Structure 1
Amino acid sequence: MDKQDLKNKVEEPSTDYLPTGQAGGNYTYADYLTWQMEEMVELIKGKIFKQAAAPRVNHQRVAGIVFSAFFNFLKGKQCEAFIAPFDVRLPVKSKKHEDINTVVQPDICVICDPAKIDELGCIGAPDLVVEILSPGNNKKELQNKYEVYEESGVKEYWVIHPNECTLVIYTLVESKYSTSRILTMGDIVKSKAIEGFELDLTEVFENLL
């Protein structure tokens, strides 16, 4: 996947449900904590993004299989796996609520530093993030989240396309992501961020609709 494909115009948030301020405003985690919405929302560089619809069946099946694989592998180890909804705050200037303008909810994340985990979720970059594409969220995952994950230092960013039965892994090398080939059924994936972890993609994709 060419990085140029990720450099299109930044998505503007929907303006029909903004809870405070003006459309296109620069929101922070302090604002985020005051919102009361039924749908899941994320804050990326101060802009609001909401989930277009409930995840599809294939999305949920893949999420369950991949999370279970990480969860079982990490039993008794320091690293810990979490599944959405789970807030990940990515501070730039400081850890103060009013200074954080990116709060995302990865489908799955693995955190190896216990100091990054608190009662609100994670503060700081997870070691590994998995995002599973759904209709309506591809641009957010492939462009907006790619950028903030790279900038914040997420070591591995996995993007899974359930309908195409593919996985692409972005690995952080000298502060920039290096892209894997497209991985699919028959491939055994080995993580560089989580030493010893392997995933058989045939088991992930074989029973999808």
Structure 2
Amino acid sequence: MNYDYINYYSEEEFEDIQSHYDGKAEFDNGLIFLSSNTSIRHNQIKRNILTEFSIYLKGSKCQAYDEQIEVIFNYKDDLRKYKPDIFVVCDDASKKGESFISPPKIIFEILSKSTAKFDKGRKYDTYEKFGVLEYNLVEQNGFIVQHALIDGAYQIVNVYKNDDDYTSTVFTDLKINLKDIF
């Protein structure tokens, strides 16, 4: 990558671009990542995971959200505004307007060709740094790679496929059969 041609944007410039963009816009320390609308398959997977979590969390102090809601990761000069595909926050999460400013407990990112590098790289590092307890990379062909935060670093704790039951490391009694996701 030739870094001579990278443009850096202020947070205000990002907010202006985001307000006029018909897709997902994310901010990472002056860099802007734009994603087009997602595929039908991506949406089916997202809806299925979100539904399972919504049912499980009903009546609890936690809720599942999707990429329509922004999560702000901010510490000193490090500012990132991401829209995870699916995330879970609880009543102790802080908000700024309609954005969360506390790290979610769990995040799922559904990989696609256009987002996989970002989800496996910058987002992975950010979620680990800011203390997201569980990060799941969802392959649209039927795999979930589960990372748990252990001693401040992510470790792969499970790879789910076929007829496996996904089990959360945060909500240990939550089980979702992969056939209900894919």
So what's the TM-score if we normalise by structure 2? 0.89
Residue number among 151, 156, 163 corresponding to 1:174 in the alignment: 151
Q: Distance in 2 between matches of 1:44 and 1:197?
A: 32
Of 70-79 and 119-128, deviating more is 119-128
Tell me whether 1:41 sits opposite 2:25 in the alignment: yes
Distance across 1 between alignment mates of 2:105 and 2:161: 23
Q: What's the CA shift for 1:194?
A: 2.5
Whose relative contact order is higher, 1 or 2, with alpha carbons under 8 Å and at least 6 apart? 1
Contact kept, 8 Å, 1:27 with 1:101, in 2: the verdict is no
Shift of 1:118: 4.4
* Offset of residue 196 of structure 1: 2.2
Pairing of 1:142-161 with structure 2 (within 5 A)? 142-161=120-139
Per-residue Cα deviation, 1:154-199 (whole angstroms, up to 9, x for no partner): 000011011x210001100011001134211211111111242211
What's 1:4 paired with? none
Corresponding position of 1:71: 54
Match of 1:85 among 65, 68, 83: 68
- State how 1:112-151 maps to structure 2 within 5 Å: 112-151=90-129
Query: Which residue number corresponds to residue 178 of structure 2?
Result: 201
Gapped runs of 5+ residues in structure 2?
Answer: none
Query: Is contact 1:156–1:169 with CA below 8 Å preserved after alignment?
Result: yes
Q: Does 1:50 align with 2:27?
A: no
Amino-acid identity (%):
24
AA aligned to 2:53 is: F
Task: Indicate whether 1:32 and 2:28 are aligned.
Answer: no
> What is the CA–CA distance in structure 2 between the aligned matches of 1:172 and 1:128, rounded to whole Å?
10
Aligned length: 179
CA contact (8 A) 1:157 1:170 kept: yes
The whole-number CA distance in structure 2 between the counterparts of 1:55 and 1:182 is 24
Runs of 4+ in 1 over 6 A off after TM superposition: none
More strand by share: 2
AA in 1 matched with 2:81: V
**How much is the aligned-residue C-alpha RMSD, in angstroms?**
2.1
Q: 2:89 aligns with which of 89, 93, 111?
A: 111
Identify the range of structure 1 (58-67 vs 114-123) with the bigger mean alpha-carbon deviation. 114-123
